[in-house]
Amino acid sequence: MTPDIRTVVSADVLALTFVRSTREVLLALHRRPAEPFAGDLALPGVVVLTGERLADAAARALAKLGASGAVALGQLRTFDEPSRDPRGPSLSVAMWAVRPPSEDRPDGQWVALDRATGLAFDHDRIVADARPLLAGMLWRDGAFTRALTGSSFSATDAVAITEQLTGRPPHRANLNRDLARIPDLEEAGTTTGRGGRPPKLWRWRD
Amino acid sequence: MTPDIRTVVSADVLALTFVRSTREVLLALHRRPAEPFAGDLALPGVVVLTGERLADAAARALAKLGASGAVALGQLRTFDEPSRDPRGPSLSVAMWAVRPPSEDRPDGQWVALDRATGLAFDHDRIVADARPLLAGMLWRDGAFTRALTGSSFSATDAVAITEQLTGRPPHRANLNRDLARIPDLEEAGTTTGRGGRPPKLWRWRD
DNA sequence: TAAATAGTGTCTGTGAGACACTATACA
DNA sequence: TGTATAGTGTCTCACAGACACTATTTA
């Protein structure tokens, strides 16, 4: 085999997590320690090894940041712009990953979805492309949604997550209606709010 | 760079075309001349060269069959099963392509979509995965649909295409209603049918 | 004039988006 | 008791699926 028929393939990961205290959806980034784009923020990524599954490569990229523990993983699409990496042509398979929610902001570089701009390589483009896909999975894709919300969540959390993923605040009436018809989701009373009527608690079955 | 960080990536193409005389949607295949899977049918594919765009690789795969002339191209998803090729681990980016319709069955191995089974590698899986995606693009994705129908087509052609892509015959009333609200499409009288009331002719604007 | 083919009007159910109003808790 | 927060009922619109009926052509 000539070298020409082998290609550098990286897996770049959009890893999301939800912080309950601030009700923010955060994206994992890291600051590049070396050229190219030294000092810039970038999506976590690794070069895919021969025979490695893409999901494994994505998990490896997160482990490298100390951000392992993703409970759901999937593929977005493959980016093939030859000039995307100044070191030479490469392919990038964009993957999504979700870590369970935490009470407080986790360690490491996590940035609100809206503020993830000015990234290295073509990562701004990848984030922009992925955003509507992620928004489309919310409340529809069970694995994605359940990983993002954790085993239970308040209706107010649901509003915050929806707003940050879609870019627009949902109408509460419609969101509660939509949640009510997700088969694996059930109401579990109310939870303590922050003044005002306490929000509903939603819990995943099983 | 160690050899481990380079990966064999192939582009495998689902190339469709519509035959007016038989009203069939056909998929391009080729018979493998060598091991592995010698003699079996397979999707056209090539190994992606360093720095090559995926769309270019897909076009090259079709040209190799004498089936060039695709007027629309896009990406489906990337398959990463390490055992998908017995020669060793590789990635496959599945691409779709559409050739303009022809009056009669084109040269080469073209098979009705339903009969594309027993294929080499994981190509049965790729076809099965791609089918709902292609059906979802029909009448929604302008480039895909227009390439498949050509610049004008009869309502009966539309029924046949829909049935073969979705697997179920559409109701004519609903299909005509749906076509009527595609902005780039307009009615252009009727066309000669084969006995019975002549079907409407639909024409793309521009 | 019957059979084959195709078009049209309309009913129903579902889901999204929106608004007004009601309910609960805390200061 | 007022303000902040959240839930609920309901209206409208768009769209998909389905059926019955009508229209046009050929044999």
Tell which A residues from 28 to 47 touch B, by Cβ distance under 8 Å: 47
Tokens at A45, concatenated: 């990524």
**How far apart are the two ends of chain A, measured CA to CA in Å?**
51
Q: Are A11 and A28 in contact (CB under 8 A)?
A: no
Residue pointed to by tokens 């360093």: B50
Q: pLDDT value at position A195?
A: 82
CB of A136 within 8 Å of a chain B CB? The answer is no
Give the DSSP per-residue string, A116-174: --S-STTHHHHHHHHHHHHHHHTTTSHHHHHHHH-SEEEHHHHHHHHHHHHSSPPPHHH
Searching chain B, which residue's CA lies closest to the CA of residue A55? B80
From CA A194, how far away is CA A198, in angstroms rounded? 8
Q: Are A7 and B7 in contact (CB under 8 A)?
A: yes
From CA A28, how far away is CA A35, in angstroms rounded? 20
**How far apart are the two ends of chain B, measured CA to CA in Å?**
51
Nearest alpha carbon to residue B130 among B83, B175, B169, B75: B75
Q: How far is B89 from chain A (nearest CA, A)?
A: 5
From residue B57, alpha-carbon distances to A5, A72, B48, B129, B191 in Å are 12, 32, 6, 21, 38
- Angle at which helices A155-166 and A172-180 pack, to 10 degrees? 110
pLDDT of A141 > 90? The answer is: yes
Grouping H, G, I as helix, E, B as strand and the rest as coil, residue A61 is helix
Instruction: Measuring from the CA of residue B199 to each C1' atom, give the nucleotide at the shortest distance.
Output: C6
CB of A54 within 8 Å of a chain B CB? The answer is yes
From residue A185, alpha-carbon distances to A136, B86, B190 in Å are 18, 43, 52
Sequence-distant (6+) residues with CB within 8 A of B108 are B28, B30, B65, B66, B67
Strand partners, A102: A19
pLDDT of B2 > 70? The answer is: no
From CA B186, how far away is CA B206, in angstroms rounded? 11
Q: Are A189 and A206 in contact (CB under 8 A)?
A: no
Residue pointed to by tokens 């929806």: A162
Least confident of A2-11, A112-121, B134-143, B159-168: A2-11
Instruction: Measuring from the CA of residue A177 to each C1' atom, give the nucleotide at the shortest distance.
Output: D8
Angle (nearest 5°) at CA A79 between B88 and A132:
125
Averaged pLDDT for residues B79-104: 97
Tokens at A61, concatenated: 């990229």
Whether B91 sits inside 8 A of A52 (CB atoms) is no
From residue B150, alpha-carbon distances to A128, A146, A200, B71, B101 in Å are 33, 44, 54, 10, 6
Sequence-distant (6+) residues with CB within 8 A of A20 are A101, A102, A103, A157
What percent of chain A clears pLDDT 90, i.e. is strictly above it?
A: 90
Q: pLDDT value at position A194?
A: 81
pLDDT per residue over B49-86, tens digit each? 999 999 999 999 999 998 888 888 999 999 999 999 99
From CA B83, how far away is CA B12, in angstroms rounded? 16
pLDDT of A2 > 60? The answer is: no
What is the pLDDT confidence band of residue A57, given thresholds at 50, 70 and 90? very high
Comparing every residue's Cα with the C1' atom of nucleotide C22, the nearest one is: A197
How many CA within 13 A on the CB side of residue A91?
A: 28
pLDDT per residue over B17-29, tens digit each? 999 999 999 999 9
Q: What's the one-letter identity of residue A2?
A: T
Q: How far is A47 from chain B (nearest CA, A)?
A: 6
pLDDT of A1 > 70? The answer is: no
**B14 CA to C8 C1', in Å?**
37
Q: What's the one-letter identity of residue B78?
A: T
Q: pLDDT value at position B206?
A: 84
From residue B128, alpha-carbon distances to A19, B76, B81, B119 in Å are 39, 12, 15, 11
Q: What's the one-letter identity of residue B142?
A: G
Whether B78 sits inside 8 A of A80 (CB atoms) is no
What's B197's DSSP letter? S
**B200 CA to C9 C1', in Å?**
18
**A102 CA to C26 C1', in Å?**
27
Q: How far is A79 from chain B (nearest CA, A)?
A: 9
Q: Enumerate the residues of chain B whose CB falls inside 8 A of the CB of residue A75.
A: 77-78
Q: Enumerate the residues of chain B whose CB falls inside 8 A of the CB of residue A78.
A: 54, 75, 77-78, 93
From CA A101, how far away is CA A23, in angstroms rounded? 10
